[in-house]
Every structure is written in structure tokens, then in C-alpha cells.
Amino acid sequence: MFRYFILLITLLSVSAFVCAQETVKVELMHADRLEGDEILGPDIRKLIGNVGFKHVDTRMFCDSAYLNSADNSLRAFGNVRINSEDGVRVNAKRLDYDGNERTAKLFEDINMTDGKMTLTTDYLVYNLQDEVAYYTNDAKIVDGQNTLTSKKGTYYTPSQSFVFSNNVKLDNPRYELLSDTLKYNTVTETATFFGPSEIISKQKVGDVVYCNEGWYNTQTEESYFGVNTRIITSGQELHADSLYYNKKTGIGRAFKNVELKDTTEGISVTGNWAYYDEINQKAKVSENALLVQSFDNDSLYLHADTLLSVTDSATGVRDYYAYYSVKLFKSDMQGVCDSLAYVSSDSVIIFHGDPILWSTTNQLTADSMKLHLRDSKLDALDMYGSSFIISQEDSIRFNQIKGRTMNGFFKDSKLYKVDVDGNGQTIYYARNSKDELIGVNRADCSSLTIFVKDNEVEKLLMYTQPESTFYPILELPPSQLKLKDFKWLYHLKPETVEELLE
């Protein structure tokens, strides 16, 4: 055991000797005058005028200095300059340098540059061995068109990158970035930010980005924003969990919990994925997409797999397209179809792919439809090909209108008139003053007009070889109770907004 103890002591002694041998003394290169001072001590020399030191690969210059050979340190005053082989240059009014640790503490009017960026502050600690500099009070960094200020910061010379914290502000001719913590690389000119951050556009007043993490490349103008991202532009707001955007191409992509609000048109769109083409002014939202347009006393809800909006660059008018499993809900109208287009300039909704609409108690079907809105209310409906209107009279009886094309007209969002053109057919039930069923009217003609009041036929006008028969309620054969191609599809009707998302 004693032999092992002696070996350990020997090893420690050798290690201490090696460490001592590795210590490099601060070397005085030149000075105009050298003075000794008994008060300061025998190991301290006072140097005045054109003073220069060398330590490892670093040169230090000043007007005057105190060199302490005992602890391998110096204090420099006036026109202090530090030059490193890695190209870093530092100027200051005062310097405290520890040669053993190779650490420089600089004070007042500090200017540090690597040839590309310039840092100014009043206090800086620079570790020349690790090539790391940091400050703990206000500082400013200028890098080309970018100016950055913060309370605290660290500069890593090998990677030429900064980490800033406390009231970080990055100022650029195009924008201003405010953040809690920011990392900036002077080579790639990429800013990475952490914590609550805000980017304010200087080119478009009111355009702001909020997020809790992200990065922005000032060279390529690519950016990523994550964690509760919110972008505000003129008349629009975009919310998402994360977002990628390329300023040069104008392409943006948003992911998870996406919500786009158009405050000028009272429209909001939500989904889990979004794509935006700023140059061509196109936006696409998919994965459980939902559009909501607010009116004075009502709202229109539109759900689909994918929603697309296209803006006319000349007029600024935005049109919307929905496709795959489209569902629509409004207090006075519901509908389903495969796809639709909403032309906002004309307030027209065009339905394609087995469209079905429900207006109060009426079910409307056709090969395609065109619905006109006026002042946010149903105004007119054009139905093309295999047009059919059905309303339920009781559990087994249905009022029906059928024709090649139809034009329906609304008052206060209620159907009051229908023009049928081509192969017109109707089945309508009549009731007495006691609201009892007394008969059914069956009519066939090329064209006809039906006036409806309280969902009952008030008047029927038939044109071109009309045929009309009124049957007592029990005399019409069951086979004649329904017109050809009759389909009652009420089970597909969305009854609530929540059902749109099912």
C-alpha cells in the first residue's frame, strides 16, 4: 500500500511540473519608458508610451501599463488594442489581463470586430484560450445591414456566433426582431430565437409575427416559427403551431391548429395544414378544414377535406373552393356535395357532385346548383339537370317537384316560387281548414310555376299541354305516391355545426 502511495505522489508531482512548464509568461515587446515602484512591489513594472505585449498568439498594445511578473498579469490603460491570430481585433480604454487563464477584462468604449461584425459595449470579458467573449450589460453589434442590441451576450469566435439574452433587439431595414433569447451566426447570417419573440415589418405597416421559437436567415430570407405562431397582416391573421416561410418565393406552410382570419370579409378558416403562395395570392387549407363567414345575425359554416382561396390581383376579390366531402351549415340552409366554389364578388355558391340542399323543410337535389345570396340571405337558386324538390307531408307522404332545370326564389330565406323548365312533374297534398289531408294533386307539363306559402302550394301555373288530376287522399295508388328517381336523404342533413366535423 505504501508503494502505491509513493507512486501516486510521484505522478501528481510530475503532473504539477508539466502544468508549470506549460504556463507561458506575458512578454514585454517594447515600451518608451520602464519604471519601478517600490510601493507597487518588486514584481510590478510600470510601462509608459507605445507599450506592446505578446502572449502565446496574441498581441496587446496600450499607452501605459502595469506588468506583474509574479502572477503573470497586466493592467493596461489608454488606447488598448488586442490582436489575435484568428483575426479578432479589440479596442478599449482599459484592460485587466490574466496570463495564466488567458482572460482579458476590458472596460469603456470597447470595440470588437472579426472583420465582418463589430461589437461595442462598456464591459467585456474575453477568454482568448477558449476564444469566447461575453458581456453583462448593454451592447450593440453591427453586421452589415443588421444591428443587434441586448443586455447580455456571448460571442464564440470559432463559430462566429452570438448568444444574446435580456431585451434582445435585431434591427434590419426590412424588419425589427424583439426576443427574450437569440442566437446569431455572422457567417450564415441566421438568427435563432427562443422564448416570446416578435418580428415587426418596416415595409408593410401593421405586419407582425409572434412566436415562442424559430429562426430567420437574413441571406436567403427563409424563416421558421414554432410554438403558438401568430402572423398579423393587413386585414388578416394566421395562427398555427408552427410555420415555414420563404420571403423570396412567397411560399409559406403552416402545421397543426391552423387558423386564418380575414377581418375585412369576416371569414375564418381552420385546419391542420396550410399552404400559402403570396406571389400568386393562393391559399390552401386541408385536414379537417372549416370555413366560417360571419354575417350580421348569422354565420355560414363550410367543412371539407380541402379549402382553396384565390385572390384576383387586379380587383383584390377572393374566391373560395372546397372539395371532397363538402358539408355546409347555416341557420336557414344546410347542404352536402362533392365540391363547390364560392364567388364572393357575386355572393354565389356553385355546387358540384351530387349536391343536396335543405332549406327549412325542403330537400333540393340536382346534377349541379348555383345559389345566390343577397345581404347574407338566400335569394335565388338555379338547379341544372335532374332537378328535384321534396318536402315531407307526413311519415309516408311527400310533396314533390321534378324537372330538367329549376329556378327557385326566396323571401326572408324561405322558398316562395319555383319555375320548372322541361319535363315538369309535381305531387302536392291538400289540407282542409282543420289541417286534415283531403287529397293529392298530380300534375305533368313541359313547364310550370309553383307559388309556395308556409311550405304549401298556394298556386300552380302550368304551360304547354298540362295534365293535372286531383285524387282523394286514399285513391292515388301507392305506386304513384313518389315520382321516378325519388330519394329522401334527410339522414345526410347536418343538423348542427358539430356534425360538420364528424
Q: For residue range 108-146, list pLDDT tens digits in order.
A: 999 999 888 899 999 999 998 888 989 998 999 898 888
Closest CA to 169 of 151, 187, 188: 151
Q: Which residue ranges does the chain devote to CATH 2.60.450.10?
A: 23-137, 332-495
As a whole number, mean pLDDT of residues 152-160 equals: 87
364, 491 Cβ separation under 8 angstroms: no
Look-up: residue for cell 442590441? 149
- The secondary structure element, H or E, covering residue 304 is strand 299-311
CATH of domain 332-495: 2.60.450.10
Spatial separation of the C-alpha atoms in residues 243 and 258, rounded to whole Å: 9
Closest to 337 (Cα-Cα) out of 310, 303, 309: 303
The kind and range of the H/E element at 427 are strand 414-431
| 194-198 average pLDDT score | 90
**Weakest mean pLDDT among 128-137, 248-257, 262-271, 284-293:** 262-271
Mean pLDDT confidence for 166-172:
90
Determine which of 159-163, 239-243, 347-351, 423-427 has the lowest per-residue pLDDT on average: 159-163
Range of weakest confidence among 78-82, 240-244, 298-302, 465-469: 465-469
Q: Output the 3-class SS for 256-273.
A: EEEEEEECCCCEEEEEEE
Residue owning grid cell 323543410: 361
Determine contact, residues 148/171, Cβ cutoff 8 Å: yes
Q: What is the DSSP string of 201-270?
A: ESSSTT-EEEEEEEEEETTTTEEEEEEEEEEEETTEEEEEEEEEEETTTTEEEEEEEEEEEETTTTEEEE
Q: Other CB atoms closer than 10 Å to residue 122's CB: what's the count? A: 15
| Confidence (pLDDT) at 123 | 95
Q: What is the pLDDT of residue 15?
A: 36
Residues 6+ apart with CB under 8 A from 39: none
Which residues, 6+ apart, have CB-to-CB distance to 51 below 8 Å?
A: 28, 30, 31, 32, 61, 62, 63, 64, 65, 76
User: What is residue 22's predicted lDDT score, i.e. its pLDDT?
Assistant: 61
Q: In the structure, what pLDDT confidence band is assigned to residue 78 with cuts at 50, 70 and 90?
A: very high
Q: What is the pLDDT of residue 228?
A: 86
For range 439-454, the mean pLDDT: 88
Q: How many CB atoms lie within 10 A of CB 498?
A: 9
* Tens digits of residue pLDDT in 388-435: 999 998 888 899 999 999 999 988 878 889 999 998 999 988 888 888
Specify the residue for cell string 346534377. 367
pLDDT of 9 over the 70 cut: no
Taking the C-alpha atoms of residue 103 and residue 403, their distance in angstroms, rounded to an integer, is: 92
Q: What is the DSSP letter of 40?
A: T
Which CATH code fits 23-137? 2.60.450.10
Instruction: Return d(Cα 232, Cα 225) in angstroms, integer.
Output: 13
Average pLDDT of every residue of the chain: 87
Going from the C-alpha of 476 to that of each of 4, 443, 471, the distances in angstroms are: 117, 13, 6
| pLDDT reading at 5 higher than 50 | no
Cα dihedral 413/416/419/425 (nearest 10):
110
For residues 405 and 387, is the Cβ–Cβ distance under 8 A?
A: yes
In the block, residue with C-alpha cell 298556394: 458
- Closest to 245 in 3D by CA, of 274, 221, 273: 221
Rounded to whole angstroms, the Cα distance separating 382 from 420 reads 10
Choose among 185, 253, 178, 257: nearest CA to 210. Answer: 178
- Residue 43 grid coordinates: 514584481
What pLDDT digit, counting tens, does each position of 338-374 carry? 999 988 888 899 999 999 999 878 899 999 999 998 8
Confidence category of residue 11, pLDDT binned at 50, 70, 90:
very low
Three cell numbers at 476? Answer: 292515388
Which residues lie closer than 8 Å to 277 by C-beta, 6 or more apart? Answer: 250, 251, 283
pLDDT score at 124: 94
pLDDT value of position 493: 93
pLDDT digit string (tens) for 24-67?
999 999 999 988 766 777 888 999 999 999 999 899 999 999 99
DSSP 373-423: EETTEEEEEEEEEEEEEEEESSSS-EEEEEEEEEEEEEETTEEEEEEEEEE
User: Residue 88: pLDDT above 60?
Assistant: yes
Sign for the CA dihedral angle at 127, 128, 129, 134 comes to positive
